[in-house]
């Protein structure tokens, strides 16, 4: 089976969502891959150039490959918000 590119950072191989850089499988296609990525969160207010009007609670979530550390995606959210699920079917 060939690789199906689904974004600049993710692909589907053999029915699994994988890191496009190293090929590490994250999860079966059709499931939320973000729950299987390495997660780091940074308060937006702590970032260089952040506007003073940004609420203290808003964070930037970084989702990285647990194998090679490549950045897979980011999202802005409140800490208690669920992930913005990216579910891709093969």
pLDDT tens track for 34-81? 999 999 999 988 888 777 777 889 999 999 999 999 999 999 999 999
Domain-embedded: residue 88:
no
44 near 76, Cβ under 8 Å? yes
> Which range of residues forms the domain containing residue 30?
4-77
Domain-embedded: residue 51:
yes
Domain-embedded: residue 11:
yes
Domain-embedded: residue 83:
no
Q: What's residue 50's pLDDT? A: 73
And the tokens for 61? 């979530």
- Give the global pTM: 0.88
Secondary structure letter of residue 32 according to DSSP? B
- Of 34, 1, 4, nearest to 20 (Cα)? 4
Domain-embedded: residue 87:
no
**How many domains in the chain?**
1
Domain-embedded: residue 26:
yes
Domain-embedded: residue 10:
yes
Domain-embedded: residue 66:
yes
66 near 36, Cβ under 8 Å? yes
């Amino acid at each position: 089976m060939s690789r199906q590119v689904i974004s600049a950072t993710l692909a589907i191989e053999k029915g699994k969502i994988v890191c496009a850089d190293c090929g590490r499988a994250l999860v079966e296609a059709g499931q939320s891959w973000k729950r299987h990525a390495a997660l780091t969160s940074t308060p937006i207010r702590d970032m260089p150039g952040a506007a003073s009007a940004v609420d203290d609670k808003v964070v930037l979530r970084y989702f990285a490959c647990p194998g090679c550390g490549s950045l897979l995606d980011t999202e802005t959210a409140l800490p208690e918000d669920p992930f913005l699920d990216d579910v891709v079917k093969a």
